[in-house]
Chains A and B, each alone.
Chain A
Amino acid sequence: MATVASFEIAYRQFLDPEGRVTGTLPEFARDPAALLPLYRAMVWTRTFDAKAVSLQRTGRLGTYPPCLGQEAVGVGVASAMRPEDVLFPSYRDQAAQLWRGVTAVEILLYWGGDGRGSAFTGAAPRDFPICVPVSSQTLHAVGAALAMKLRDERRVAVCCLGDGATSKGDFYESINLAGAMQLPAVFIIANNQWAISVPRSAQSGAQTLAQKAIAAGLPGEQVDGNDIVAVTDAARRAIDTARAGGGGAVIEALTYRLGDHTTVDDARRYREDTEVSRQWELEPIVRVRKYLTVAGAWSKADEERLLAESTAEVNAAVEEYLATKPEPPAAMFDHLYEKLPAELGAQRQEASGEAGGHA
């Protein structure tokens, strides 16, 4: 008997939960100052996220999926992308979207129930909006990656998905095509250990989710998803390789969903508080603060200023969101087709005139 194929899945971590360096730091991270923008972005994201939850609790935002605990994955991945690359998010990728230029107001508008939230008037004009049907964004990513390859563009499609999403056919079909056609598609699995109430252990019999890449002919690796350095490093390597024509990759970032699935979910129904408390000890922001503080790159004043600034900026965005008037009912008919078909004119008229509608 001969072994015709075998695989290895590597795991990388550079900063441990206490902020101590555990391996040789990659080039870009040697200067602690390089982590400052990343740290700021993570703190800003968390401030925004907490505020969004608070808005929902006070009836001013609809159902919202908190990204608490996953800030390093989003910031790390997005920071490794270039403006011309395209992000295909799930619905819990606020950290990546904010880095990419989606405004806080837009995110609030979307979860506040206003379709203008997906208009992305700022940067990243080709980024896809958040995706609700789990895993379906993987197909869009691989289609875009094909577009990039067909045109010989040095651009990469970056797709974020969760551990649950890797169970779907969409994911398998996407990585399969990426492998079959050597496409510049990088798949980031933010494995936060929970798909609503289903733990990772019940989601798949595979030892790692990263190894699903092997079945598609793609490289796969695991990183500590709460280590901003490890995430950024892995994302850079994969994205740069894809950009250079080296094909796609799958990165499994191990993290934890510290909040509920959504603001209407109550995670206590299916997981123990003690488990969550333990996970708080591994969270991504504290370790970077500690590292930077020890390295002399971050002071108390810096922290205070950062908290105050991000709070103020988030509050300003909230004010702007709350002041935004709803669209008129006729907006339902906008952008349905390039040109609204004649047969819908009467309906649009009715919607414009109707006061109130269904209670």
Chain B
Amino acid sequence: MPEVALVQAINLALAHAMAADDRVLVLGEDVAVNGGVFRATDGLLQRFGPRRVIDTPLAELLIAGMSVGLAAEGFRPVAEIQFTGFIYPTLDQIVNHASRLRNRTRGRLTCPMVLRSPCGGGVHAPEHHSESPEAMFAHVPGLRVVIPSSPSAAYGLLLAAIRDPDPVIFLEPTRLYRSLKEEISDDGTALPLDACFTLRDGRDLTFVTWGAMTRDVLAAAEALAADGVAATVIDVATLKPLDMQTILASVEKTGRCVIVHEAPLTAGFGAEIAARLAEHGLTSLLAPVQRVAGYDTVMPLPRLETHYIPGQSRILAAARRTLEFA
């Protein structure tokens, strides 16, 4: 089996989905001839032709809105927004239409579209290219929000997202695009949506995270293990709908929870998880839930970005606080 990076896994999943279902379309800026600025759609035009892989004009609102029209007419559009910094114009169409079409037509019209976009920082990119907007989308009823943390997760979750009958926002961690490789069997096996993945089991503390931070959290768990602390690492993967059961079951065992996300702290998705822990898992907690997150500042330019993105010391410090609490 080949070892592939995350962005290649995306490519494999798209190709597999398009071969299996001719309703699947890829559209966006520079996705066809150029194969996508990150090469996520590389080779698809050559293989499936211009009726399946479409270069759109430079218009994000259009990309999202036309996807609604395409989806209502029975296609399964997988639209790319080149960077999440440019995803905001799509909010009108995603919030006002994609997320509601099924509901407001009582199921008569549906919107099985996927909006995929590279998110997060750590790639020395210019301004506006390092956004983490997942909490904004997670706040919208009727949407799914999915963030893979590895090549295999990207492959399996994207397939699931494309096959899902409802709209999915699929955010791909840019700094993971090429940084790690995994063996992937390109057999079309999807991963379950609406489910967390426990990547590591340990009885002393529960890490809850998603996206690129998952790698950093796994590294922190290793470091803790060297100190005799066994940490569980849960990759949320599907933020919405949230599989709280898995998180609660783990915290019931460990009594300590550290939530780690790159997006800014206030009103980040970690707040939702912390609130649900307080609601349903309070008596299991041995220490307050910790959130390690980006600061409530604008994502800085590359020189400072490593200070913004939570590093090992901040993650480990939070872990220690829960262990030393009482």
- Judged by CB atoms under 8 Å, the answer to whether A and B touch is yes
Interface residues, chain A, with chain B CB atoms under 8 Å away: 86, 88, 115-116, 118-120, 125-126, 128-129, 132-133, 136, 138-148, 150, 157, 169-170, 173-174, 176-177, 180, 334-338, 341-344
On chain B, the number of residues with a Cβ less than 8 Å from chain A's Cβ atoms is 44
Closest to A150 in B: B51
Contact at A337–B142, with CB atoms within 8 Å?
yes
Complex: A176 Cα to B73 Cα, angstroms: 20
Stretch of B96-104, B179-187, B228-236 with 4 or more beta carbons under 8 angstroms from chain A: B96-104
> Given A129-B104, A170-B61, A336-B142: A146 and B241 within 8 A (CB)?
no
The complex places the Cα of A109 from the Cα of B229 at a distance, in Å, of 61
Residue in chain B with minimal CB distance to A147: B73
Q: B residues within 8 A CB of A120?
A: 105, 108
- Asked if B106 contacts A128 (CB within 8 A), the reply is no
CB–CB B105/A119 < 8 A: yes
Q: Is the Cβ of A335 less than 8 Å from the Cβ of B242?
A: no
Q: A180–B57 contact, CB under 8 A? A: yes
**Chain A residues, CB < 8 A from B144:** 337
Instruction: Say yes or no: A146 contacts B70, CB within 8 Å.
Output: yes
The answer to whether B59 touches A335, judged by C-beta atoms less than 8 angstroms apart, is: no
Decide: B68 and A140 in contact? CB cutoff 8 A: yes
Q: Are A119 and B108 in contact (CB under 8 A)?
A: yes
Beyond A140-B68, A143-B72, A170-B65, list 11 extra A-B contacts (CB 8 Å).
A133-B97, A136-B97, A139-B61, A139-B62, A143-B70, A150-B25, A150-B51, A173-B61, A176-B59, A336-B102, A337-B102
- Cα–Cα distance between A128 and B92 once the two chains are bound (Å): 17
Contact flag A136-B110 (CB < 8 Å), given A143-B70, A173-B59, A174-B62: no
* Given A115-B104, A140-B72; A174-B109 close (CB under 8 Å): no
The number of A-B residue pairs with CB atoms under 8 Å apart is 135
Please give, as numbers and ranges, the residues of chain B lying within 8 Å of A341 by CB-CB distance.
194, 241
Question: Which chain B residues have a beta carbon within 8 Å of chain A's beta carbons?
Answer: 25, 51, 54, 56-57, 59, 61-62, 64-75, 77, 92-93, 96-97, 102-110, 141-142, 144, 165-166, 194, 241-244
Which of A86, A115, A148, A169 is in CB contact (< 8 Å) with B103? A115
Report Cα–Cα, A148/B66, bound state, in Å. Answer: 12
Closest to A168 in B: B61
CB distance from A11 to the nearest CB of B (A): 30
Given contacts A128-B109, A177-B66, contact A139 B93 (CB under 8 A): yes
Cα A138 to Cα B97 with chains together (Å):
12
Complex interface: chain B residues within 8 A of A132 (CB): 96
Q: Is the CB of A336 within 8 A of B103?
A: yes
Complex-state Cα separation, A119 to B105, whole angstroms: 5
Cβ contact within 8 Å between B106 and A118: yes
Tell me if B73 and A144 are in contact (CB < 8 A).
Answer: yes
Closest to B89 in A: A169
Given the complex of chains A and B, what is the CA–CA distance between A120 and B241 in angstroms? 29
Contact assessment for B97 and A140 in the assembled complex, using a CB-CB cutoff below 8 Å: yes
B107: A residues at CB distance < 8 A = 334-335
Looking at the complex, which one of B61, B73, B165 makes contact with A126 (CB distance below 8 Å)? B73
Alpha-carbon distance A119/B72, docked complex (angstroms): 14
Query: How many Å lie between the Cα of A157 and that of B75 in the bound state?
Result: 15
Whether the Cβ atoms of B97 and A177 lie closer than 8 Å is no
Chain B residues closer than 8 Å to A128, beta-carbon distance: 72, 109
Q: Contacts A133-B96, A341-B194 known; A335 to B69 CB distance under 8 Å? A: no
Q: Please give the distance in Å from B64's CB to the nearest CB on chain A.
A: 8
Q: Judge whether B108 and A177 touch: CB under 8 Å.
A: no
Cα separation A174 to B64 with both chains bound (whole Å): 11
Query: Which 6 A-B residue pairings sit nearest by Cβ, starting from the closest?
Result: A143-B69, A139-B65, A143-B66, A341-B241, A147-B73, A173-B62
> Contacts A143-B73, A170-B61; is A136 near B93 (CB within 8 Å)?
yes
Q: Which of A86, A126, A146, A169 contacts B66 (CB 8 A)?
A: A146
Q: In whole Å, how far is A155's beta carbon from the nearest beta carbon of chain B?
A: 9
Q: Say which residue of B25, B65, B194, B244 sits within 8 Å of A136 (CB atoms).
A: B65
The answer to whether A337 touches B244, judged by C-beta atoms less than 8 angstroms apart, is: no
A177 to B105, CA, bound (A): 26
Instruction: State A180–B56 Cα separation when bound (angstroms).
Output: 9
**Using Cβ atoms and an 8 Å threshold, which residues of chain A touch B73?**
86, 126, 143-144, 147-148
Q: How far is the CA of A336 from the CA of B165 in the complex (A)?
A: 11
> Chain A residues near B93 (CB, 8 Å)?
136, 139
- Assembled-state Cα–Cα distance A43/B55 (Å): 46
Q: Which residues of the partner chain A approach B65 to less than 8 Å between Cβ atoms?
A: 136, 138-140, 142-143, 170, 173-174
A143→B109 CA distance, assembly (Å): 14
Q: Which chain B residue lies CB-closest to A174? A: B62
What are the residues of chain B within 8 A of A343 when measuring CB–CB? Answer: 241-244
| Chain A residues with CB under 8 A of B166 | 337-338
Residues of A within 8 A of B64 (CB): 139
- Tell me whether A142 and B104 are in contact (CB under 8 A): no
Q: Which residue of A lies closest to B142 (CB)?
A: A336
Chain B residues lying within 8 Å of A174, measured Cβ to Cβ, are 62, 65-66
Q: Are B104 and A139 neighbours in the complex by a CB distance under 8 Å?
A: no
Tell me, rounded to whole Å, the shortest Cβ–Cβ distance linking B269 to chain A.
14
Of the listed residues B96, B97, B107, B142, the one surrounded by the most CB atoms of chain A closer than 10 A to its CB is B97
How close is B258's CB to chain A, nearest CB, in angstroms? 22
Contact residues in B for A146 (Cβ distance below 8 Å) = 54, 66, 69-70
In the complex the two chains form, is B108's CB within 8 Å of A125's CB?
yes
29 contacts between A and B (CB under 8 A): A88-B69, A115-B104, A118-B104, A118-B105, A118-B106, A119-B105, A128-B72, A133-B96, A136-B97, A139-B62, A140-B97, A142-B62, A143-B67, A143-B70, A143-B77, A144-B73, A150-B25, A150-B51, A169-B61, A170-B62, A173-B59, A173-B61, A174-B65, A177-B57, A177-B66, A337-B165, A338-B166, A343-B242, A343-B243
